[in-house]
Structure 1
Amino acid sequence: MGSGYYRYLRNLLKDRSGLILTPEKNYLIDTRLAPLARKRGYQTIADMVQNLTAYPDEALTVEIVEAMNTHESSFFRDREPFDLFKSTILPQLLQRRADKRHIRVWCAACSSGQEPYSLAMIVKGEAAKLAGWKVDIVATDISHSVLARAALGRYSQFEIQRGLPVNLLVKHFTQDGDDWRVNDDVRKMVTFKPFNLLHECDGLGQFDLVFCRNVMIYFDLETKSRVLASISKVLHKDGVLFLGSAESTMGLTEDFGPVQAGRGAYKHTNGPPCLVEI
């Protein structure tokens, strides 16, 4: 099928995950899908795609999408959102949710789990203040395989060294061979579940805080707007949305506006004072 399989795969990725690949990025298809093609018994990616178009295979389609999506993460990545959560958002939640004593956080596109575990360690450190409270940290990703790895909470020495303070390593991790595992008390604080950001997120419930960082940079403008509209429905009116440092809501939605307190933090434009506004 010549080089037409590139176009087929680019369209497939956009439809299934929102990922936009330009022809200049065809090399990513070559490097990420060649191992999958070999594993599936095909000599080339073109052969795999040709067979897929003739005999639709949902399992293979899912594997292709998962292989092509970037799974990059680190502990306390871009430290500012985590500092803001600990210093301002969590104290505000203790005041504003005192009647319910229930806090819900959503980490969208959580990849291998470092982001939700970073939040869980902060919550664990404030355990005395949160006695009698319920804190839900829901972490989602489109990839079932990366979620399975995240749920194990096992990380290499290289991954540990990327952003994790030594005192938290000693306190919350146990060495397992050459790797490190998150201790069960922290690991069980996070609920991992598969979710595609292209779908409506009403079924996930309402949240006080949403982390959706460094994923929408891969979407086109229409998809970004749709995702933000969906998030606005599940974020409490005084809640905070964190996007990546290279991401913005400008020109995409009127639902959210930036918060002065922190880079990458957004609030409902027509809501009450948000959790970082004291």
Structure 2
Amino acid sequence: MNHSAVAGDRREAVEVTKDRNGIDQVVLRNPRGASAQVSLHGGQVLSWKTDRGEELLFTSSKAIFKPPTAVRGGIPICFPQFGNRGSLEQHGFARNKIWVIDDNAPPLHANDSDGKTYADLLFKLSQEDLKVWPHSFEFRLRVSLTADGYLTMISRIRNINCKPFSFSFAYHTYFSVSDISEVRVEGLETLDYLDNLYQRERFTEQGDALTFESEVDRVYLSSSDVIAVYDHEKKRTFVIRKDGLPDVVVWNPWEKKSKSMVDFGDEEYKQMLCVDGAAIEKPITLKPGEEWTGRLELSVMLST
């Protein structure tokens, strides 16, 4: 195997395996034993584990791992739209297509490579797909795992078309939590948000922290670049750092909606919370030759 995803002294740290449907997956491991697993089905991170083997992402026990169905859990990439508008499928097509390992990606800078393992993936539309969405682009994704076990995703989308196009975007991150009623999110206070449960009506967040006792489906606008998700029972905090992603989606389907989703267990809403770095309210427009970068860094801290 001679992929650039497995270059140099990182050979033992990056492994390409196949899932039950024969789709390639890249497994990253850092020197301390933390790991991440990225599927070429959707360029989707399916697993992120601590050095003690504890899974940090939620995946439904009823998830369907067969294209063209997107996997319910992990970190699906929503592009070129978030939500359900126009003729495209919900949350766009990037999460449903097969990506490839990117053999032409530039290496890490020396000052950035210390203890870091990474995989580079590439997504382009087929001729068939261009009939549905007639805009040519190159979407390069780098997923890396640092020596500290931080998970970083960098998306670079370049317009290789002769005309501009616009898109919205989200890293639809499913965090694994002990009990949704024990979780709070900080960093969204005083922000305006669009509430999808009320036809995207605009409200202002009144609370000091966001807590959960019913279904939530909101897009918080123009947030700061650091958001924290506190899991009181597990005594751990997820820290989300983002760049190029002004908005934050917060979603939990709660009981009624959970029962209506075929790929989601009836009670599983208690063990998950989606908090996404996103660009939704103001779509990104790329002129020919222009490139956009959206960066997400996830870390976890244990509290006493």
Scaled by the length of structure 1, what TM-score is found?
0.24
Higher helix share: 1
Scaled by the length of structure 2, what TM-score is found?
0.22
Higher strand share: 2
